[in-house]
Homo-oligomer: A and B are copies of this chain.
Amino acid sequence: MVYVTRKAHFAAAHRLFNPSWSMAENDRVFGKCNNLNGHGHNYNIEVTVAGAPPPETGMVIDLKVLAEIVDRELIELVDHKHLNIDVPFLQGIIPTAENMAMAFWKVLAPRIPYGRLYSIKLYESENNLVEYRGE
């Protein structure tokens, strides 16, 4: 079993708020992340696939192939977007890093052709990150 990881990057705007709460309650919980006009991040994502490399290629999954899947199926949908407004598969959830990582898992897990998706790490900033392993 080897774990192979591809890193990717996207830039997006978002706003954290719960539409069923008052503005005051949203401010109390989400603070400046509740800024009405949104704010943004350069997100870094690490997608890890686990598997056994077959001897004839020595690769769990070709990292170029994994990069293309991540770009086409995920990055294209979220890069240079407003996550609350422009991304269909994020509608109805609060775009915290936790919720985003779980939503990204649902998008990517069925599209990994070799091995199996093991982990998604999402960095919202240099000091804040989350990891979801499908558990």
Contacts and interface: CB of A to CB of B under 8 A. Distances in A.
A5 B130 contact: yes
Contacts of A3: 130-133
A128 B63 contact: yes
Please report whether the interface of chain A is mostly helix, strand, loop or mixed according to DSSP: mixed
Contacts of A131: 2-3, 5
A86 interface: yes
Nearest to A127: B7
Contact of A82 (B20, B33, B37): B37
Interface of A: 1-9, 11-14, 16, 18, 20-21, 29, 31-33, 35, 37-42, 53, 56-60, 62-64, 67, 79-82, 85-86, 93-99, 101-102, 124-133, 135
20 contacts: A1-B132, A2-B102, A4-B98, A5-B128, A13-B40, A16-B58, A18-B56, A32-B79, A32-B80, A35-B82, A35-B86, A37-B38, A37-B85, A39-B79, A39-B80, A42-B125, A57-B96, A59-B96, A59-B98, A67-B127
